[in-house]
A and B are shown apart, each in its own frame.
Chain A
């Protein structure tokens, strides 16, 4: 018998029951909730007249709707305020821990879980949010679910899922200067398209992946959903164990030793078989940027936008629609395009390393006058650390505004909206039409590329400024 993959080992340990010619009943260790996708689920639990089955395995934090300025004041916009209050009420009623607005642990759900050590290797983790894939960086099975499934987890601590197929993506070698894990993500998605991972759970492996920090691994797994995959994961190693150690919710004492011993067994066996496998060379990856309206429409920053003859005829309508929306023409050069907004933040690139990277690059320089920039930490803890490390000071001196944590312009549910027709270089994960505000034009990139755009006012190769 062939060996098991990392995914198999964790999945198999969590199957409560298999339904004949149907999905498996999968037990969930950790459940995260936020204000947007949970109210209907809590209402469903209430309507059934039952309790939350395991309230101590669910953690809540409002993030999508919250303002990034003046968080001590009541939320001005009525619907947002109502949604955030509804989350607080539901958590109270059902006995779920909530890191509410103003709580020192508040922040984007996918930043908060790992930094508190709630996210651990070997776990099954779900949240009503597709970027739950972020937590896979710890060698966990983590994926986004819909609200019906949120209700399932609240009611029974289980969901019903068919077992996905398995894919391994290896990145070997050494990343070049100015190339980050965000670039690896955008590169892979550009290679495989946004449907390339559909039906699969991806394991990222190879020497370039192993060399990434924990936070960089989170950026990569975060974007695995943009590949269409159910999720992405990276086997836990010393980097992972070191990161989890000592965090608030991490196991302690003898439990810690036991947990670590188990985590060390969680890797794909040498003879494990994947349904699909790809290998890329780290040296081939340039700093990347997207030019279109899905994350797969990305290219190396020195490249030009593809011309129509390199695109399948069947996709021309879609491609042209995308170019019209962005105000670009096929064949255009990317470098030198004018930039109006820069957004640094989100569950993809809103962690302390991202802020450090950005601050390092803009230190002693000045923000371009034509650019509006929002620098938004992923959590209160990240905000605090950034202040302590002097990052806020560097940003202010360079003319940047450091805001309070939240999802912010990643999906523009709060006031942080990019106006119609404006081009934003964004460290978030989606460049869909209207994602950052109706009519907004998004170009996804790393914090370094965002820094280069912010100080020059145009798309600029980050390798020229570091």
Chain B
């Protein structure tokens, strides 16, 4: 199924300076009973975001109206824990297009990419300065350029390159996914199976 195309994005961002944010925090297990991909955004970070009675917790960043934007900037080792893609659906469903951190758990990173969310790995220093800038000015912005593989801290002007392989980059730029690709090489897969038997 086509994913949304991604080229460049300039946006304010939401800071979440907590390390090791795991998938159980991103979307608690009790929300995994759905059989479709829709509706997970409302429960993103549910236990940090809402009181038991469902009212928003005032001190959680997503409930603070001064922060906005389609970029989430998180502490290191984001997305550790389970392989549940629901975490990526929750992030995408909430409206985030980019997650910035100094380190991502492997499975989360792949899941995010498969759902049109770009994980951007930055240096510890770059990350710290983003937190610093948004502390001083909640309207601080970043710019992400997928073509050039760069991220810019718009407050300081500092630019950093990030890694993404050209296959995945092309998928995002053109809005196609792995299954489209795999289906297109089915002949190779069948040939592989035949060869193995011999």
Contacts and interface: CB of A to CB of B under 8 A. Distances in A.
Given A144-B107, A152-B178, A194 B80 contact: yes
Contacts, number: 179
Interface string B82-122: 11111010000000000000010111001100110000000
B182 interface: yes
A21 B167 contact: yes
B159 interface: no
B32 interface: yes
A55 interface: no
Contacts of A330: none
B123 to A, nearest CB: 14
A19 B192 contact: no
B186 interface: yes
B84 A36 contact: yes
Interface residues of A, number: 67
Contacts of A103: none
A328 B196 CA distance: 56
A157 B179 CA distance: 11
A39 interface: yes
A198 B189 contact: no
A39 B86 CA distance: 12
Interface in B124-166: 165-166
Contacts of B85: 37, 40, 128, 146-148
A128 B178 contact: no
B35 A82 contact: yes
Nearest to B112: A146
B111 A148 contact: yes
Contact of A317 (B18, B88, B115): B18
Interface stretch (A22-30, A66-74, A166-174, A363-371): A22-30
B189 A156 contact: yes
B73 to A, nearest CB: 15
B188 A430 contact: no
A54 B135 CA distance: 53
Interface stretch (B22-30, B54-62, B63-71): B22-30
Interface string B168-186: 1000000001110111011
A441 interface: no
Contacts of B197: none
Interface in A111-164: 128-130, 132, 144-149, 151-152, 155-162, 164
A464 interface: no
Contact of B167 (A22, A40, A48): A22
Contact of B29 (A83, A159, A195, A413): A413
B178 A146 contact: no
Nearest to A148: B114
Interface stretch (A176-184, A281-289, A432-440): A432-440
A241 interface: no
A317 B17 contact: yes
B49 interface: no
A42 to B, nearest CB: 9
Contacts of A21: 165-167
B101 to A, nearest CB: 11
Contact of B1 (A47, A53, A144): A47
A460 interface: no
A308 interface: no
Interface of B: 1, 17-20, 22, 24-25, 28-30, 32-37, 47, 75-77, 80-86, 88, 103, 105-107, 110-111, 114-115, 165-168, 177-179, 181-183, 185-186, 188-189, 192-193
29 contacts: A16-B185, A16-B188, A19-B167, A20-B166, A25-B182, A25-B189, A37-B85, A39-B34, A39-B35, A44-B1, A48-B1, A79-B33, A132-B83, A144-B82, A146-B110, A147-B86, A147-B111, A148-B85, A148-B115, A152-B179, A156-B183, A159-B178, A194-B77, A194-B80, A195-B105, A199-B106, A294-B80, A318-B19, A434-B47
